Structures are given as C-alpha cells and as structure tokens.
A and B are shown apart, each in its own frame.
Chain A
Amino acid sequence: MNSYRENSFLKSIDWSLVVTYLLLVLIGWVNIYASVHSSEPASIFDFSCRSGKQFVWIVSALGIATAILFIINPRAWESLSPLIYAATILLLVAVIFLGVEVKGSRSWFEFGPVRFQPAEISKIATSLLLATVMSQNGYRLTTPRNFILTALIILIPMAIIVAQSETGSALVYVGFVFMLYREGLSGWILFMIGMAILLFVLTLTASPYVSMLVLMGVASLCCALESGNMKKWAKVILPIMVFLSFVPALIKWGSGLLENPEDLTGNVKPMYFFAMTAVIGIFFYAYRAYRDRSLFKWGAIASFITGILFVLSVDFLFNDVLQDHQRKRIEVLLGLKDDPSGVGYNVNQSMIAIGSGGFTGKGFLHGTQTTYGFVPEQSTDFIFCTIGEEWGFVGAAAVILLYAFLIGRILHDAERSREAFTRIYGYCVACCIFMHLFINIGMTMGLVPVIGIPLPLLSYGGSSLWSFTAMIFIFIALDRHEKRYL
C-alpha cells in the first residue's frame, strides 16, 4: 500500500510541466551568465556576479517548489486565499511608504542584500482569491453583484501598483480578461478592448477622422452581421463610407480651384460631413433598435458613441494622463518620433542584437552585442536579446515554443480538472505568464512599447523567479491532488 501511494504520488505529477519549468530556468541561468560575461570572465557560480546570484535564487526556488509539492496541503490554498490576498494588499500599500526607491518607483522592500517586490506575489494572491470566489456554488459572472466583486478583486491591487508607478506590472492584470472570458464574460468585451487599442493607435498615427471612420464602419458592420443584412450594408453604408473617406481630399482639391483657399479649408471641415452622417445614422439605428427590440443594436449605438468620445479624448489621454516616459515609448514604437539614442536606444540595440543572431546564432558566449554592453538591462528585462543573438532564430523560436507549450499545457490541465478552483487558478496562471511573455518579448522586438516587466523564469531576479515558481507549482500541486483521486 505504501509503495503504491508513493508511486502514485510521483506519477500523478504533470512531469512535462516540471521539465519545461526546469528547462526555462536553466536557459535563463545560462543566458544570464552569457549576458554578464564581459572582459573578465568569471565562473558561472561566481557569487559576485549575477549568474552566481541567480544560482542561489534557483536553488531556493527549487526549495519553494518542493515545499509546495510535498509539504503544503493543496486544499489549504483555497481556504487561505482571502488571508493571503489581504496580507498582500497590506504589503502593497506598505511598500509605498516603507519601500526603497528603484528607478523612480517605490515597489521594493529591502532586507539587507535581498530585495523583494510585493507586486510579484500579488499576482498569486489575486489568482487564488479569484479562483476561490469564482468557484463558489451559484457564482455567475453575469450577475452584477458577482461581476463587481470579481472586478474589484482585480482592480484593487492593479490600482495600488499603478500608484507605485509600476504601470508595466499593473498591465499584466489586464490578462485576467482571458480567464473571465473563459468563465462566461462576453466575447464583445475582448473585442472592445481590441478596438480601443486599434482606435488609440490609429488616432495617433493617422488622424481622429480616420479612426472615427473605422469605428463607424466596424459598428455598422457588426450590426449588419448580427441581423444578416450584409447586402444592404454593402449597398448603403459602404458607399457613404467611401464618400466620407474622400471628403478631405475633395476639400483640398476644391480649395485649389478657389482664389482664396482659406475660405474653403477654413470653413468646411471633413468632420462636419462625418458628424452629419453619424447623427443621421444614430437616429436611423435607434429607430431600428426600437422596432426590432434589439438589445444588440442599442449596445452598438452606445459603443459607437463611447468610441467617438474615446477618440476625441485620445489626445488628452496621451498628452496629459500618460507620463512623459510612457508617452515617449509609445511615440517611438509607433514611429511618431525617431530617437535612436534616447528612448529608442534600448529597442534599437535590442533589435540589432536579436537581428544579428541570424538563423543559428553566434554561439554561446560569442555574442558581441549583448555581452558587450550595447543592450541595457540585458540580464533582466532584455534577456531575450542574448538568446536571440547567441542562439539565433532556432534557439529563440524554441524558447517561445517552450513558453507556448507551458501555457498550453497549463490550459490543458486546467480544462481537464473537475474542480472549478483548479481550472480558474490554472487560467489565471496561464494569463499571467502569457502577458509577461508577449509584452516582454514583443518589447525586445519592437512590437510593444518598452514596458519593464521580466520574462518569467528567465530574467535575472529572485522575487520574480520565486513568485513564478510558486505560482506554477501551486498549480502543479492542485493538479496532482486532483489526479490522485481519479
């Protein structure tokens, strides 16, 4: 009996997750060594340099993992989650007053040589509490009470982290919408978030006019798709859209014919045509919505008006709400400003480093860019550059696929579990890892503005490694616990 239990205990662990985890940690460690490896090479275990310190973090992280797997009862997480959450919120607030300032944000506690960022564990705490709350009997996301409760659980730590000026870490919480989507949130919410990002980018790169036109097109197209009136849309709305898109050019052409071009360009603005069309359109759709009793159409009208207001406020958001460095990073990303020595420097150097790797890379320790001080923050946020340069497309793509496998496997295990708690927690973990992965790697390749968040398990740093280890192994423990009783 004893041997059977033992066997089952080990067998029920999802070893593919553990192996993926170990692989990623190892890759991180080796590449941290490569990226700090400079004119005076030291051993990878040299504790005065980052690779040596990372070794200490890795060993202690494995300790944490073992403890979670073998010592702590997985059932405890559910009951402890409100306590953990409350403690984390306390820490998050306390760090604003008691923490040390690092690069303009107060989000770190310092105990002698050890630094620790409460924002890292708040991800775990939030995930646990979300899983606890949402797995209650009778919980339905669509009821207002539950929805507000769920939103608050996510928004409270997020707001405090923004207050610490760690906007990047706060952005990770946006990833929870994918979990909410899985748990019953309407897909339209995801769609609207996507639209908002598109409109924001379009307004900044093209013009508010273009962005409003797109909004109008998308809103009317959605209505048409929903009621199956595609032909009507193509006959009526599409020509109007085409006409509107030529209005600015028409005005320019018309003003060229006049003696005093100011008369036309000053008095006739494309926006007037748009406003006219929009007002007529809104009344038309409102009539239709009223006639058909269509909630969807009312929603579309509301979204359209909200969208217009959003476009009009983009300027304000961009110039007055965002901080200087955030604005600059977005400007550089969208190519509005070229700044290769300032904000653009990091991105430019990191893309050069990755690009120079080619197909197979320059080989371990043979990178010239990353080991040579061109890429800043190369062992933390920009660790992916070292991989891209020294291991090339093959290595870098392998790392991305490894992450994809890790996330996919977690989702797979989560779906298989019988308990909602495990499933929801698993989705939370997958969302967090995904957000970190996409933002971090996207940033090093110029897809996403520079947002300083680490690459999970790979980047140098104890508190990030510990918290991701705990997060993943809590899931593995929960998963194992379920399988034992299969």
Chain B
Amino acid sequence: MKINKQNKIIAGLAVATLILIVRLFVIQILDDSYKIDASNNSMVYSTIYPTRGIIYDRNGKILVGNKVAYDILVTPKEVSEFDTLSLSAALGVTPEFIKDKMDEYYRDRRKIGYQSVVMLKQLPPETYMRFAELAYKFPGFRGQPRSIRQYPYNAGGNLLGYVSEVDSRYIKAHNDEYKAGDYAGMTGIEATCEQYLKGEKGYKIYLRDSRNRIESSYRDGEMDKEAIPGKDIVTTIDAELQNYGQALMQNKVGSLVAIEPSTGEVLALISSPGIDVDVLADIGRHYSQIASDPLKPMFNRAVQASYPPGSVFKLVNALIGLQEGVVTPQSEFPCHLGYRYGNRKMACHSHRSPLDMEESIMMSCNAYYCYVFRSLLEDSGNGSVSQALAVWDEYVSSFGFGHRLGSDFPSELGGDIPTPALYDRMYGKGRWKATNIISLSIGQGEIGCTPLHLANLCAIMANRGYYYIPHIIKESDGVEIDPKYRERHYTMVDTSYFHTVVNGMYRAVNSGYGSGATASIAAVDGLDICGKTGTAQNPHGDDNSVFICFAPKDDPKIAVAAYIEHGSFGARWAAPIASLLVEKYLNREIGSSREALEKRMMEGVLLDKVNDR
C-alpha cells in the first residue's frame, strides 16, 4: 500500500474510530466508577428507622416510650392529577397548603428528580388511616411509619429532654453521622444517652425498572439491613416521686432534688417551672413560646443555678470546726440577738443563750457560727487568715462544693467557693480580716452552689461522711456506667464528728413546737427525719427558702434538698415540701394529719413574688 494522501486519510479515520472505541472500552469495561454511580441511580434505598430506646424509671415504669406516627411522602414525578380538596380533607390540611407544596415541588423538580420528599410530618394514626383508605386516588403519595416519643407519666419533663429532627449544624457537629430527616435527642437524658437510645438505621434496597416502578427487592433482600432498635435506658428516677415532686413545686420557682444516699442515685430532680411532657412531645410547636418565657422553663435550676446555700451551710462549718479542734460538741457560745464585731453586728433571731453545738444546729444560731468561723480563720494554727481560708476552702471542696460533682447531667454548674485570691482582689492583698468575710459562716457572701450540691451535702450527712457522685443512669443490660459512680468520696472531716451534727439535725425537726427548733413542721411520726433549714438572702426580693433533710436517721433511704426562690424562711415552704417528698417516698402516702399541709403546699403560688429582674 502506497503512503499517499488517500491512504493517510483512511488511516486517520481508522485512528479516530479506534480512539472512540478505546474510550468506550475504558468507560464501559475498565473503569468501575461509572457503574457504581449508576447503581446509585437505579436502586432505591428505603430507610428503615429504628425505634428509639425506651427510658424506664428505677421501678421498671416507662418514662418515655414510643408510639407510631406517619410521615406523608410525595414522589412528584409519580403524581398525576388528583382531587386537591379530598386529599386536603383526608390529611386535615388546607387545600392551599397542598397547592403551595405542589408548586414548590414543581419549582424544585430538577433537584428532586425521581426522589420522594416529605410533605407532612408525624401524622397521628387516625389521620393516616383516613388517608390510607383513599390513597389509591392519590398516586405518588404514601405514608411512612416512624416511631415518635410518648410519655405515659407526667414525670421528668426537661430532665428527660426532647427529641427533634437534626438540623445542618447538628449534622456538622456530629461528623455527618446523621442525615437530614433523622431525629436525635437534644437535651436531658435523650441527649446524654443518645448513643444508646438512637439504635441503627436499616435499609431495604429495591430495584427500579426502566419504567420507574419499584420492581423487586434487590437480591431478594440479601443486601438489606435490618434496623437495630435503640438500647433501653434505666434511670434512677422514681416516676411517682418525680411526679409528686412536680406537683408540689408547681407555681413555685426553685428546685427539689432527692438522692438515695447509699448509692448516689438521683430519685427525683425537679426544676420548676419545667416543661410538661405533652409539650415535650411536640416541642417544635411550643419552642418559641418556651424560649421566650421569662421564667426559663428550659433552664435546669437543679444543676445549673448557683445560689447561696444559707444556714444549711452551718453544718459544714460545724464539722470543719470539730475536725480542726476549734470547737467541741460541748462548746457553748452566747447569742443575744446576734454577734457583734467592731461596731457591726450579725443579727440572729431570739432564742435562749448560750447554746451548745447540737442546739446551735437545732435553732440555727448565727452567732455560734460566727465564733466558729472566726476561730477557724484566726486560731486554728493554719497560719494567717489568708492561709487558714485556703485550708477551709479545701475542706469545703471535699464536701463537693465549688466544682462540678461529675454527675451525668449535661452542663452541670460548678458553683463557687471564695479563694483568698478573690478577697485579695476585692480588698487588696492582706487588707481583709476574718470579720470581713464573716457571712461565709452562715453560707452567705461569696459562696454559690446548686441544689444538687445541697442534696449531695445532705447525702454526706446521711452517710456520715462520704458521698457517691449523684447520677441518673442506672447500669443495665448493655449500658455501662462510669466506675466513678461506684466510688465513695470521703470528706476531710473524720466520720466520728458527724454524730453530733446529725443529732442537731434530728433535734431541729423532732423537738416539737415551742422548743425553738426551726423545722418542727417537717416532722413525720416514725420517719426520724433529720433536717436543716436555711434562709438565704436574695438580692432580687424575698429570701429564698432552703431545706435539706434525710430519713430515717439510722439507715437513711433518701436525702432531699429543696430550694424555693422567694420562699421566705426555710420552714415556710422548703421544709414542708421536702418532708412531704420524704414521707411520700418512705410511706408511699401522706398521713392524714399532714394532708392539709400537702394541700397548702400544692396550691401555694409564689410566682408573683418573682420579679422579672
């Protein structure tokens, strides 16, 4: 064959043909990537959503369960003409809603393609049944069952937290573990136990034939994945007690925390005002209303609000005093309506004088603790006042104050105990004395703690010197808890010193009216409640009413802290409420003699005392 132009052209044609065929060979045979993409396009993955784990209380009652609801999905490409009116009637929406949606899908038709989109979410089964009967009239519309949360008890509220659809920020923050349309726990137990509760999504693969019909399941379902239901969570909460506590706390602002001292398990944790479970189930609709409520129902006061502990804190000072040897149980100090230092005076209420330590707790004498605290700082042999305060700080810290306890509540607050450095800043270095900070003796001043801290203090008293970190999740099948929750944490005060202080608490409740005891109202026959009142100053209005108590005195089963904002004296609101909770827990009912008190507590309204700051 000659190499002339004619043959060169033929050769060129052959080369060009070869290029096309080689390219064809590469993309059809050699390169797998195009096939994978194609299978994405022609297989339909239908997501199977797992049922979320159930949340139980400590007695096996269901706090949070599941019920079925239906999402209505639309595949716009499959929709043919339909009667808008009858569809809207079946779904319980306005015809305009459907028209708007269909217009929207038409606008986005290129983006949607052959996919399905969610038109309506969480229809109750009754509505869905109405639709399902007529579904044959509406090609392209179908229902997808999905489980949503159900709350058999009105117990827990914001403690349990809510579940809602994930947004793009949430998806990003969780490394794309979630996809749009998934639900996740956002607050409370739902959030902290998300990894257990969520379960694993499954899917079914269908093949779509060339006529856009779902033809069959792919490889007879061999490649399908079952959804794995979420793990159940057992909480330490006592549903009935929680429910009862919520009833007691209604129309009051504050917290009520109950702990089982022998384990650190939280029996009830109420922050008031809270969120009712029926609001929780439909959080989306109420969210803006909740968020704008000046009383902040989303705010979990029990672990997130810092308050001065008030006179309850005298217990701590008494114990430190005993340990440091600046007082003995028999030490007596005088009090004539207060404690004078320089030309100032720390006031006290009227009671007989002098008092020993047990009596000082029983009657909550302010002066007694000024003596104790001052000797702690000045005569304990721990060096200067500043150095002595540092030692005192260590003691207080060993009672759990001033730092996060490490509970399994999200965003627990640490509280504050004042360091010498703080006063150096406030007064200048070396320019402050014991008398400047004397309020610390009675739990006022620069000290802040959460109601959980107080409940923990109460558990320490009940245990005579140690605590378990309060926690709300119980170990159960497949759910492990941190071993730290099984460790005893001892205070720096020898357990032998607790005897006297506990006796004081016992006498504060059980000495009878007229004895001068502060908490007689909390006494319940046969329960041997030990308690301590507190009246913490509140710069925003009336004093806060504080009470901690545990019972029975020997072998304590429950330790309670009640903190009622603007509740005046500890004995006015906090003591009755806390004692009712104890009585309910130990006796399972309220004695007839205390029914009137219970009624008064439940009906009491303190909200009007709360100014909106």
Q: Enumerate chain A interface residues (CB-CB to B < 8 A).
A: 37-39, 41, 178, 181-182, 187, 351-359, 365-369, 371-374, 388, 392-393, 396-397, 400-401, 403-404, 407-408, 411, 415, 434, 437-438, 441-442, 445-447
Contacts and interface: CB of A to CB of B under 8 A. Distances in A.
Nearest to B111: A341
Given A358-B29, A407-B13, A396 B208 contact: no
B38 A368 contact: yes
B212 interface: yes
Interface in B343-363: none
A411 B211 CA distance: 43
Nearest to A181: B5
B210 A392 contact: no
Nearest to B40: A352
Given A373-B77, A373-B114, 12 more contacts: A38-B212, A178-B12, A182-B5, A355-B35, A355-B38, A356-B37, A366-B210, A368-B209, A404-B17, A411-B6, A437-B20, A447-B20
Interface of B: 5-6, 8-10, 12-14, 16-17, 19-21, 23-25, 27-29, 31, 33-35, 37-39, 41-42, 77-78, 113-114, 208-213
Contacts of B39: 356
A178 B13 CA distance: 10
B82 to A, nearest CB: 16
A447 B19 contact: yes
Contacts of A397: 21, 24-25
B273 to A, nearest CB: 49
Given A182-B9, A415-B6, A372 B28 contact: no
Contact of A392 (B9, B28, B113): B28
Given A397-B24, A407-B13, A39 B35 contact: no
A182 B9 CA distance: 8
Most chain A beta-carbon contacts within 10 A, residue among B17, B24, B39? B24
A369 B9 CA distance: 37
Contacts of B17: 400-401, 403-404
Q: Give chain B's interface secondary structure class.
A: helix
B8 to A, nearest CB: 8
A300 B211 CA distance: 60
Contacts of B38: 352-353, 355-356, 368-369
Contacts of B20: 400, 437-438, 441-442, 445, 447
A39 B31 contact: no
Contact of B41 (A39, A369, A388, A437): A369
Nearest to A185: B5
Contact of B23 (A352, A403, A415, A445): A445
Contacts of A359: 28-29
A408 B16 contact: no
A400 B24 CA distance: 10
Contacts of A434: 13, 16
A125 to B, nearest CB: 23
Given A39-B213, A369-B42, A372-B212, A355 B16 contact: no
Nearest to A365: B210
A299 B371 CA distance: 112
Most chain A beta-carbon contacts within 10 A, residue among B10, B21, B25, B211? B211
A438 B209 CA distance: 32
A359 B26 CA distance: 11
28 contacts: A37-B211, A41-B211, A182-B6, A352-B34, A352-B38, A355-B27, A355-B33, A355-B34, A355-B35, A356-B38, A366-B209, A367-B210, A369-B41, A371-B211, A373-B113, A373-B114, A393-B29, A396-B28, A397-B21, A400-B17, A400-B24, A401-B17, A404-B14, A411-B6, A411-B13, A415-B6, A442-B20, A442-B23
Contacts of A358: 28-29, 35
Given A39-B213, A181-B5, A354 B16 contact: no
Contacts of B25: 393, 397
Contact of B42 (A39, A354, A368, A408): A368
B26 to A, nearest CB: 9
Most chain B beta-carbon contacts within 10 A, residue among A352, A371, A442, A447? A352
Most chain B beta-carbon contacts within 10 A, residue among A38, A355, A374, A401? A355
B210 A371 contact: yes
Most chain A beta-carbon contacts within 10 A, residue among B38, B42, B113, B210? B210
Most chain A beta-carbon contacts within 10 A, residue among B23, B33, B35? B23
A393 B6 contact: no
A404 B21 CA distance: 11
Contacts of A396: 24, 28
Contact of A351 (B6, B34, B77, B78): B34
Contact of A178 (B9, B31, B35): B9
Nearest to A414: B6
Given A37-B210, A373-B113, A356 B35 contact: yes
Contact of A352 (B9, B37, B114): B37
Nearest 9 Cβ contacts at the A-B interface: A355-B34, A356-B38, A368-B42, A404-B17, A371-B210, A355-B27, A393-B28, A352-B37, A39-B212
B207 to A, nearest CB: 9
Most chain B beta-carbon contacts within 10 A, residue among A182, A356, A371? A356
A372 B29 contact: no
Contacts of A403: 17
A411 to B, nearest CB: 6
Nearest to A404: B17
A447 B42 contact: no
A403 B210 CA distance: 28
Contact of B28 (A37, A354, A366, A408): A354
Most chain A beta-carbon contacts within 10 A, residue among B13, B28, B213? B28
Contacts of B210: 37, 365-368, 371-372
A368 B77 CA distance: 15
B377 to A, nearest CB: 62
Nearest to B78: A39
A352 B40 CA distance: 10
A321 to B, nearest CB: 27
Nearest to A34: B210
A408 B213 CA distance: 44
A181 B9 contact: yes
A191 to B, nearest CB: 12
A6 B10 CA distance: 34
Contacts of B77: 39, 373
B35 to A, nearest CB: 5
Contacts of A441: 20
Contacts of B6: 182, 411, 415
Given A355-B38, A369-B42, A372-B212, A393 B9 contact: no
